[in-house]
């Protein structure tokens, strides 16, 4: 079975540009999570969805960040405008059902803002 | 609020030696606890999890962890380290009330010395 698929794997962009990260969760999974990983702060939960509905976006750092999930098989995380401090690895992850079940992570999108 | 503390951001062991990675958690209610592993340039993958069944949990690749409520700990062990175990290991916690967030620790990088 295909795992969580993220694109792009690597992105280098200039400060001020819009960045869109994409995610396809595992088919049948009803929870989708966006995490950000940095050396300084580790792995932070940005937002999560349940059945395509955003449930908790309290981890989104500021209004420049937005996320959508228009259907069960696709989600985007957008940064507009991007800043150098947004440079990080962004992971999408999905899970089927209850809390104790396994979260499956994508391979990450490595973002560098110069 | 739930949290985990991983003691030691870097741990070095000799090949064949015992691996011990420490994790202490904080949760106001009985927790779910997880250990994930991240290999270079990859996403996180589940090693093992505790969901209130047996306190000694066995995972993949010969790893195991023991839930100790009295010590609020969930340390990860492996009797004999292999070179392929070199990776970053993350402890994570979530409570069982239905709160869907999983909070990750800062991670411990394991180095295996030949």
Please give the full DSSP string across A82-100, using - where no structure is assigned. --GGG-EEEEEEEE-SSTT
For residue B90, list chain A residues with Cβ-Cβ distance below 8 A.
43
The answer to whether B40 faces chain A, any CB pair under 8 Å, is no
CB atoms A105 and B105 under 8 Å? no
Alpha carbon separation from A14 to A38, B46, B51, B75, B89 (Å, rounded): 19, 35, 44, 42, 32
The model's pLDDT over A103-112, given as tens digits with 9 standing for 90+, comes to 999 999 999 9
Q: Is the pLDDT at A39 greater than 80, yes or no?
A: yes
Does residue B102 contact residue A103 with C-beta atoms inside 8 Å?
yes
Residue A105 and residue B44: Cβ atoms within 8 Å?
yes
Q: How far apart are CA B96 and CA B40, in angstroms?
A: 31
The HSE-up count of residue B19 (CA atoms within 13 Å, CB side) is: 30
Q: How confident is the model over B41-62, as pLDDT tens digits?
A: 888 999 999 987 788 999 999 9
Nearest Cα to B21, choosing from B58, B60, B65? B65
Q: What pLDDT does residue B82 have? A: 96
pLDDT at A81 over 90: yes
Phi, psi (rounded to 5 degrees) for A59: -90, -5
CB B11 within 8 A of CB B91: no
Q: What is the mean pLDDT of chain B?
A: 90
- Tell me B80's DSSP state: S
Q: Give the three-state DSSP class for A106.
A: coil
Which range among A15-19, B44-48, B102-106 shows the weakest confidence by mean pLDDT? B102-106
Residue partners of A40: CB distance under 8 A and separation at least 6: none
Distance (Å, whole) CA A103 – CA B8: 25
B103 in contact with A at a CB cutoff of 8 Å? yes
A62-71, B11-20, B89-98: least confident range: B89-98
């Amino acid at each position: 079975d295909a795992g969580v698929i993220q694109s792009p794997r690597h992105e280098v962009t200039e400060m001020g540009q819009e960045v869109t990260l994409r995610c396809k969760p595992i088919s049948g999974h009803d929870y989708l999570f966006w995490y950000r990983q940095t050396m300084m702060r580790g792995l932070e939960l940005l937002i999560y969805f349940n059945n395509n509905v955003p449930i908790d976006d309290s981890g989104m750092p500021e209004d420049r960040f937005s996320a959508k999930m228009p259907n069960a098989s696709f989600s985007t995380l957008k940064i507009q405008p991007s800043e150098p401090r947004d440079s990080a690895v962004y992971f999408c992850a999905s899970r089927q059902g209850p809390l104790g079940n396994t979260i499956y992570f994508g391979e990450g999108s490595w973002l560098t803002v110069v | 609020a739930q949290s985990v503390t991983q003691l030691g951001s870097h741990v070095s062991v000799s090949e064949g030696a015992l691996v011990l990675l420490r994790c202490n958690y904080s949760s106001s209610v009985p927790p779910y606890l997880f250990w994930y592993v991240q290999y270079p340039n990859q996403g996180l993958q589940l090693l093992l999890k505790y969901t209130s069944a047996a306190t000694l949990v066995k995972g993949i690749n010969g790893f195991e962890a023991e839930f100790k409520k009295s010590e609020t700990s969930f340390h990860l062990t492996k009797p004999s380290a292999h070179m392929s175990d070199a990776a970053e290991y993350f402890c994570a916690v979530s409570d069982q009330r239905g709160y869907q967030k999983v909070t990750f620790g800062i991670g411990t990088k394991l180095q295996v010395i030949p």
